[in-house]
Structure 1
Amino acid sequence: MSDRQDPYLAFWGKTRRRDDGSPGWHPAAYHSLDVAAVASVLLREHGVPRVNPEFHALLLALVAWHDIGKFTRTFQCKAQAFWPTVLGRFQPVAAPHGHDTAGYGLLTGPLEDVAAPLLEGWGNFRHGMLRAVCGHHGRPPGSIDAVPAEEACNVCLGAARLFAADAARVVGGHHVRFPGRAVAPGLIWQLAGLAVLSDWIGSNEAWFAAHPTPIPLEQYWTEHALPQASAAVARAGIMPARARSQVALADLAPHVTEPTPLQALAATLDLPANGPSLVVIEDQTGAGKTEAALLLAHRMMAAGQAHGLFVALPTMATANAMYSRLAEAYRALFDTGEAPSLVLAHGKRGLHERFQKSILPVPDSDDALATDPADETAGAQCAAWVASDRRRAFLADVGVGTIDQALLAVLPARHAALRQLGLSQRVLIVDEAHAYDAYMSQELETLVAFHAGLGGSTIILSATLPQARRAALVTAFHRGAGGSTSELACDHYPLVTLATAGGALEQPCDPRRELGRNVVVERLATAEAAVARIAAAARAGLAVAWIRNAVDDAIEGHAALRTDGIDADLFHARFAMGDRLQIEEAAIRRFGRIAAQTERAGRVLVATQVIEQSLDLDFDLIVSDLAPIDLLIQRAGRLWRHARPDRPAAADTPRLLVVSPEPTTDADGGWLCGPLRRTRNIYRWTILWRTARELFGTGAIATPGDVRRLIEAVYAKPDDVPEGLRAALAAEQGVESAAIAMGKMNVLVWKDGYDSGQGWDSDVRTPTRLSEESVTFRLARWCDGVLSPWCQADSPRLAWALSEVSLAAWRASGVPTPTGPLAEAVAAAKREWGRWDQDLPMLVMTRSPDGWEGSVATEKGGRRATYDLHRGLMAI
């Protein structure tokens, strides 16, 4: 590489292949301006992030310095072919850290005199701003005392110093007064996200051509960086779609002829003109909470307070269901002629056929960019660049995913700041908020606070939210948005709570008239009694569900029913994903909204919690193991869910049968033995005891009137238990306190800013949930010397993904090492797997007289494993 007029143009920043395949390069100075130009387009043309314009020039100068660490010998020696001749003879130098840390070391060390004037008066927040921009690879840079001469010699320092000054001048950077301690942390987090996003787009070689020919920095900025940046942002598919000025309920739900009281309130609730808000909606299943949330979100979007929305749900199944639901309606939120994107975000979204079909190719020509959005198909769509990475899901106009993807925004996980940036532009809708334990609740409160601090609004949906949880969420919102927390006193149900920086308003809501009903509750002492009642109901033509708390209990109950001559279906989480999806589809056909009476009559579904939230199913009778009151209310919501004039005569009233011991006042540590012995390890005993006492004391659940009373009776007074359960209570409180403490310890701290001291790690190792450790296997068939995935699909990768099934780690930790021809076949199959799938153990099954069997490994040796469509995976 030859010398340049400006010495910094001799330093390479990106290596790229030329059209003829030979290696090429792009100067670090020009790449830095590419990234700054992207930031300029995002900030000035699209308001991403929402930052006071007075800070724009400062942020652009800082973003232009994001790769200042590449002006070092340690970085330049990574490509010997492009070693700058100004550095003399090529000499490899070991890199003790990345160029992000080197850059931070330069800006806070030998180049401090260049950086300091831009941030004069910012105190310690100056370092936070520099960490934010140097940590553009998704985590804060490390701290170093000094950059040694062998890493950055005088020539390197001279080039870096000259570039930093020139770049700040070219992009128009200048000093901005310190905004105060209340504003600075938010600005740091926003800059961190902006630097990541701008670098991702600015590093795409399809959008930014290599330019090794030297030209003045000003000329490159105006003639190359800025025009390319505008086109690149368009190609990335992240330009916000314009919201419609008005949206009616009929636009979102054409099948709805009249709004529910909740939906009518959502259309008229007095939202603030400026600033973030928190809306907590508490109403029954079937009250139209989702549509109410969409109406509220659209009103915020139309007012310019958000560019889109993200819906966070507790499970992949609920996320899939919501994605399918929104795919039919989300375009109604946006202007005609716009092409809004819809993305699905969770670990198994590659299995969602509709989402995969929605991904559009990245336009690579001006003609493609000029396509009229009106010519696009009416279905869901998403740009490939946004869809290719779960971390970019928050850049889509509408996103749907598991709550885990949103919680990673407030954990020390790579690219947390990017998630924050995307979310801050969107209304965050959290559904099924009652489904989160003490650990996840701490994460959710932190997420609400961060989101409010960045100017984002949140809508919380729940049918069974305890009062203390509602109060904690409002407090968290005010912690982020500012203002004082108001006392919450209203115990009405249904209820809408609106929190703003000015306080909180509790707005009672009328219930939906059709949802008022009385569910009869009966206690069954044993599983055998449950089998007898289910069998009798099925023979009388009723559609019945038996919801069990443990997979093994579901398998045993299913077997008992089949022995009694009842043709029951089984649905739990230990089926291969492909089989599980087929079982789910069959359940919807048989028990869903449009199922014919002839299809459902006399049918029984034995299931675990997988049908508790995600599926729109309707049963004439439900039998359930004892569970916490909020979950039982959810399960009862599947009773008589749809209007069916042809229910069998034996279905005289909605009825919930609960398998439970008697909640006696002398209950002790053995209270849950017997039919619920496995439930002891799933739910808190004391909550179960209070649930049983309240339910069986009244013998009914009257909705909506009983909902608040039952929830508070179970959750508001944790000490209200028999003396014999005091030891269990103490143990439960200890576990809960530890979970809360761990949640507080793991989440990011707003005021600390983008600091490496918070234990940053990868997404995989940063826990969003405290759950039992499990091992995911990929099932395979070994038949006549041929190895094939358990499930079939259009592509081998999809087939293997559909063949995945998990077991608790205490049941199985892996598989025995294969030998002989099988070992060769396994190795050949794994070569076709993705890099992140290589560590998944392949559980090879061979045919046996009873079905299919294989072997799994445990800490104590091997165990026989079986698999069939009647029971799923069993480790015997």
Structure 2
Amino acid sequence: MRRVKYNVDARITHNPAWGKTDAAGRPSHHLAHHSMDVAAVLEGLLRHPVISARAAAAAGIYLKPEAVAWLSAFAFLHDIGKLSPRFQAKVWPDGIAGGTASHLSEGLIWADRLLDGQPLLDGAAGPLVAPLVAGGMEKAWFGALLAHHGRPMAFDSFVYPPNPRDVFRDVPGYDWRAEDRRMGAALRQWFPEIAIDLAVLRSHRLVHLFAGLLALADWIGSDDGAFPQRRDFDPDYGASARARAAAALVAIGLSNPAWPGTAPSFRDLTGHPVPRGVQQTIADIPLEARLVIIEAETGSGKTEAALAHFARLRSEGRVDALYFAVPTRAAAGQLHRRIQEAMARIGGPEAVLAVPGMLRAGLAEGRKLPGFRVLWDDDRVHWAAEHPTRFLAAPVAVGTIDQALLAGLQVKHAPLRAAALSRSLLVIDEVHASDAYMNAVARPLVAGHTALGGHTLLMSATLGAGQRAAWLGQPAPSQRAASGLPYPAIWHDAAPADPLRPDPVGYAKSVHPRLVGTMDAEAAAHKAVAAAEKGARVLVLRNTVEAAVATWRAATRARADLCLSVLGQPALHHARFAAEDRRKLDAAVEQALGRAGVTTGIVVLGTQTLEQSLDIDADFLITDLCPMDVLLQRIGRLHRHADRTRPAGFEAAVASIMVPECGLAALADGPRFENGLGAWQTAGGYAGIYLDLRGLELTRRCIADRPVWQIPEDNRTLVEAATHPDALASVEAALDWDEYGHRIDAKSLAEGRAGGLLSLDRGAPFPTAFPGADEAVQTRLGARGPSFALPTGTVGPFGTPISVIAPPAHWCVGLTGEEPVNVTQGETGIRLTIGDNEFLYDRSGLSRARAPRRPLG
């Protein structure tokens, strides 16, 4: 074997075990020190009042100080595999014969030796291991211990080298046994009193929570800015680590985040003088209620009600954080500003925008630097905002539903996300928008969250009785009974059968839906431009990007000066834009249709990205046919504010709803697909956007049969008429759509099962593995394409540097996201060449310029 060449500490006879290296890759922090850094952070987290309550709920019993010490001492062993010479050799100039190894696999080998009775840690491991063995939980706990990099480790997954002597072998210059004894002495000194009940160790929920808290602690404890590195072992390091851990938790907002000493008033929190309707009634919810559902009309103040609920729970010590989940990035951006303003009014914590690629915390903007660093324009550190995995650790965050759902799926760092989320009031807006797959993920997530004592608030203007009953664990009422239920209403699990009845004080309006027998882009553009020429602010929502782009091109040919603009040039809003450009588009839409928007005629064109959770107000709405609950959301952007003066001819709220000329029956025969309606056949069954023609036909009939809708008075009746299972069965029989209906129901059932199979059940034993690739486990069903890093200096069509582009998955067959991107700048946009693919990115968004040639056969 080649001799190892490195410096030997003059005070000891062997090289000390390192746990961290510096920027140059040199050992800089003793393994015992790093182990204690992480253990001290975990200890601090378990002493956090809210997390302590969650741990007690998981364990089924209050965790005594000795139990907290046991869990922290066990966390001290998380990197024990780094003792191995095969790991230590990673910094040795000549390496080691046979190659190096991961500290996780070496940790499993070390644990196996310990459990086999070998005298490791100089006997200090006895109080840790004995109760595990007695409870038969040693593999589960060691598996969770070694899952701190985000993925479970099966205890029997390691493979011994061919020569057993190669396992933790003796090598010149490094005595792993001496370092093991040193770790044992440190463990005994820094955790002198540890004890835990067998019943606690048998709790699956506690194993899951421990795994998540440990991963979070490892992330925090690995920050060399918070934990200055020291190579030489210090017997007194335990006290230093605890002091640094306490300071680190405060610095990143996980401990003692800003909050007023007395509960903030509604006026202080929201800027409104008094609460009304749902804002007032939310105060009557018992503090013991874990799941609350608000059903109220768009514009009725549900956001302020959610803030009031959070402020009450936060001031009572029931929660310590808020995660506000919305369906789209555009909605998250707008809502973030509102939540940040509320927090600023009361002196609360800054709000993080939890959208990947959009580095925003409070009023600060961030810029990525090499080495995973972020430069903030206020020269502060905004830890939780710097990486998506840390979003849920923020005291207040606003983002898409996807970030929350990742805590409930079998994906990397799901336990960390769930543990961080456990402190929060989880608010899910527009909950009706979730499909069968998302619901199958979201419901177990919420169940696990509430089982730990967490709080969840669901909000919707259009939640059907079937969905509400499923959330509350009730049988679904008949259509007739459901239609007669009060609206607005607030439901909660402390009394699930008896909703609270807020006063309907929101803005009531008469809406005039009008069917238009075409989905032609030119026709939609002509109607929109004609209205804008009369001074109307027009919102056009198409079901597909292709239809939106075609309509936008027709509108710009007719009157480009009347179209939404960015930097003086026409633009439209959909999902196929880079994140940096989406921010410009979001701002332009708000400037056009926001409360303080323009007062002249304008056409704003977009897709589903504009239909939910946005405070925008149009004088006239043109929309494709869509399911009733979605249509009511779109109508929520029409005449949203009662105090706005409407131009002549648009005093009434009119919505033009485009439907296929051939009707919907023809779409069920193929199946066929027209601008988002119906389905197309795939190898796995059906695919599409709004597949269920039964609900679409019921929606079309409601439009044809009811020339005037009273909103919100008719909301309940309309939703049940178009979404209730009884109504779906009736139209299916009337149109002889039995086969089509069976296929759609089977698809929905399969999607729900798929979501259930991929969910992370925290009441079950901690898993030994996750599915192979995170890309295969998604928050929204449907293929998701890879993201491609663009060359530095790439400038998008709006004059802003852009960093990443993400084409749709079906454009990326055979691509991984690792391929280089060649960028050619043109007069109107840029051409992107990725392998044999060519894409054009201009003001209409990303489009496909050339598809690769595929071999035949």
Native 8 Å contact 1:31 1:203 kept in 2: yes
Deviation string 1:401-428 (CA, Å, 9 cap, x unpaired) is 1111111112222222221121111111
One-letter amino acid matched to 1:312: A
CA deviation after TM superposition for structure 1 residue 494, in Å:
0.9
- Match of 2:417, SS? helix
One-letter amino acid matched to 1:251: D
> CA separation of 1:299/1:179 partners in 2, compared to 1, >3 Å: closer, same or farther?
farther
CA deviation after TM superposition for structure 1 residue 813, in Å:
5.5
Native 8 Å contact 1:190 1:417 kept in 2: yes
- Match of 1:754, SS? coil
Deviation string 1:186-226 (CA, Å, 9 cap, x unpaired) is 2112211222222223223333344444454xx3323x333
Cα distance between partner residues in 2 of 1:564 and 1:735: 42
Native 8 Å contact 2:32 2:233 kept in 1: no
Q: Tell me the residue number matched to 1:40.
A: 43
- Match of 2:641, SS? coil
For structure 1, the 5+ residue unaligned runs are: 84-89, 360-376, 477-486, 782-786, 816-835
- Match of 1:799, SS? coil
Q: Tell me the residue number matched to 1:345.
A: 354
The TM-score with structure 2 as length reference comes to 0.82
Deviation string 1:480-530 (CA, Å, 9 cap, x unpaired) is xxxxxxx99982211111114x86642122212x42222111111124665
- Match of 2:543, SS? coil
Name which of 242, 249, 265 aligns with 1:226.
242
Q: Tell me the residue number matched to 1:545.
A: 539
Cα distance between partner residues in 2 of 1:739 and 1:201: 37
Q: Tell me the residue number matched to 1:433.
A: 431
Deviation string 1:421-480 (CA, Å, 9 cap, x unpaired) is 21111111111211211111111112101211222111111111122222222239xxxx
Cα distance between partner residues in 2 of 1:74 and 1:522: 73
Cα distance between partner residues in 2 of 1:61 and 1:269: 40
Cα distance between partner residues in 2 of 1:380 and 1:510: 44
Deviation string 1:527-558 (CA, Å, 9 cap, x unpaired) is 46655544543343332222111122223333
Identity %, equivalent residues? 28
- Match of 2:81, SS? helix
One-letter amino acid matched to 2:195: H
> CA separation of 1:624/1:841 partners in 2, compared to 1, >3 Å: closer, same or farther?
same
Name which of 185, 196, 201 aligns with 2:204.
185
Cα distance between partner residues in 2 of 1:563 and 1:493: 45
CA deviation after TM superposition for structure 1 residue 283, in Å:
0.6
1:743 aligns with 2:755: yes
The TM-score with structure 1 as length reference comes to 0.80
Q: Tell me the residue number matched to 1:246.
A: 263
1:399 aligns with 2:393: no
Native 8 Å contact 2:822 2:832 kept in 1: no
Cα distance between partner residues in 1 of 2:106 and 2:425: 35
CA deviation after TM superposition for structure 1 residue 304, in Å:
1.0
Native 8 Å contact 1:137 1:196 kept in 2: yes
Q: Tell me the residue number matched to 1:363.
A: none
> CA separation of 1:874/1:644 partners in 2, compared to 1, >3 Å: closer, same or farther?
farther
Name which of 471, 493, 509 aligns with 1:517.
509
Single out whichever of 577-586 and 609-618 deviates more from structure 2: 577-586
> CA separation of 1:490/1:241 partners in 2, compared to 1, >3 Å: closer, same or farther?
farther
Cα distance between partner residues in 2 of 1:392 and 1:453: 22
Cα distance between partner residues in 2 of 1:70 and 1:622: 63
1:686 aligns with 2:703: no
Deviation string 1:604-653 (CA, Å, 9 cap, x unpaired) is 22322221124322222212110111111011111111234532231241
> CA separation of 1:103/1:66 partners in 2, compared to 1, >3 Å: closer, same or farther?
farther
CA deviation after TM superposition for structure 1 residue 357, in Å:
5.6
Native 8 Å contact 2:144 2:208 kept in 1: yes
> CA separation of 1:750/1:124 partners in 2, compared to 1, >3 Å: closer, same or farther?
farther
> CA separation of 1:14/1:560 partners in 2, compared to 1, >3 Å: closer, same or farther?
closer
Cα distance between partner residues in 1 of 2:761 and 2:408: 8
One-letter amino acid matched to 1:624: T
Deviation string 1:6-32 (CA, Å, 9 cap, x unpaired) is 999943323347xxx894443322322
Q: Tell me the residue number matched to 1:768.
A: 779
Native 8 Å contact 2:507 2:642 kept in 1: no
Q: Tell me the residue number matched to 2:327.
A: 314
CA deviation after TM superposition for structure 1 residue 164, in Å:
4.1
Cα distance between partner residues in 1 of 2:25 and 2:626: 65
> CA separation of 1:109/1:25 partners in 2, compared to 1, >3 Å: closer, same or farther?
farther
Cα distance between partner residues in 2 of 1:171 and 1:345: 37
Q: RMSD of the TM alignment (CA)?
A: 3.9
> CA separation of 1:195/1:82 partners in 2, compared to 1, >3 Å: closer, same or farther?
farther
Single out whichever of 412-421 and 146-155 deviates more from structure 2: 146-155
Deviation string 1:347-404 (CA, Å, 9 cap, x unpaired) is 2213899442699xxxxxxxxxxxxxxxxx9x99974333322222222211111111
Deviation string 1:54-87 (CA, Å, 9 cap, x unpaired) is 121221221122222222222222232799xxxx
Cα distance between partner residues in 2 of 1:806 and 1:15: 35
Name which of 102, 108, 131 aligns with 1:101.
108
Q: Tell me the residue number matched to 1:53.
A: 63
One-letter amino acid matched to 1:498: H
> CA separation of 1:756/1:706 partners in 2, compared to 1, >3 Å: closer, same or farther?
same
- Match of 2:655, SS? strand
Cα distance between partner residues in 1 of 2:217 and 2:631: 48
Q: Tell me the residue number matched to 1:605.
A: 604
Cα distance between partner residues in 1 of 2:556 and 2:129: 79
Q: Please show how residues 245-284 of structure 1 align to structure 2 within 5 Å.
A: 245-254=262-271, 256-272=272-288, 277-284=290-297
One-letter amino acid matched to 1:572: H
Q: Tell me the residue number matched to 1:13.
A: 19
Single out whichever of 677-686 and 406-415 deviates more from structure 2: 677-686
Q: Please show how residues 80-159 of structure 1 align to structure 2 within 5 Å.
A: 80=92, 93-95=99-101, 98-110=105-117, 114=126, 117-119=129-131, 123-144=135-156, 148-153=164-169, 156=176
1:869 aligns with 2:843: yes
Q: Tell me the residue number matched to 2:717.
A: 709
- Match of 1:349, SS? coil
> CA separation of 1:488/1:146 partners in 2, compared to 1, >3 Å: closer, same or farther?
farther
For structure 2, the 5+ residue unaligned runs are: 1-6, 56-61, 120-124, 369-375, 475-480, 565-570, 680-687, 851-857
CA deviation after TM superposition for structure 1 residue 740, in Å:
1.0
Cα distance between partner residues in 1 of 2:94 and 2:312: 54
> CA separation of 1:104/1:714 partners in 2, compared to 1, >3 Å: closer, same or farther?
farther
Name which of 291, 294, 304 aligns with 2:304.
291
Q: Tell me the residue number matched to 1:789.
A: 795
> CA separation of 1:427/1:868 partners in 2, compared to 1, >3 Å: closer, same or farther?
closer
> CA separation of 1:777/1:552 partners in 2, compared to 1, >3 Å: closer, same or farther?
farther
Name which of 820, 841, 851 aligns with 2:821.
841
Q: Tell me the residue number matched to 1:445.
A: 443
- Match of 1:658, SS? strand
Single out whichever of 644-653 and 52-61 deviates more from structure 2: 644-653
One-letter amino acid matched to 1:523: L
- Match of 2:801, SS? helix
- Match of 1:642, SS? coil
Cα distance between partner residues in 1 of 2:798 and 2:537: 31
Q: Please show how residues 406-421 of structure 1 align to structure 2 within 5 Å.
A: 406-421=404-419
Q: Please show how residues 818-829 of structure 1 align to structure 2 within 5 Å.
A: none
Native 8 Å contact 1:69 1:106 kept in 2: no
**Alignment: residue pair count:** 785
Cα distance between partner residues in 2 of 1:755 and 1:25: 34
Cα distance between partner residues in 2 of 1:545 and 1:551: 15
Cα distance between partner residues in 2 of 1:270 and 1:381: 42
Cα distance between partner residues in 1 of 2:126 and 2:433: 51
Q: Tell me the residue number matched to 1:491.
A: 485
Q: Please show how residues 855-866 of structure 1 align to structure 2 within 5 Å.
A: none
CA deviation after TM superposition for structure 1 residue 94, in Å:
4.3
1:571 aligns with 2:569: no
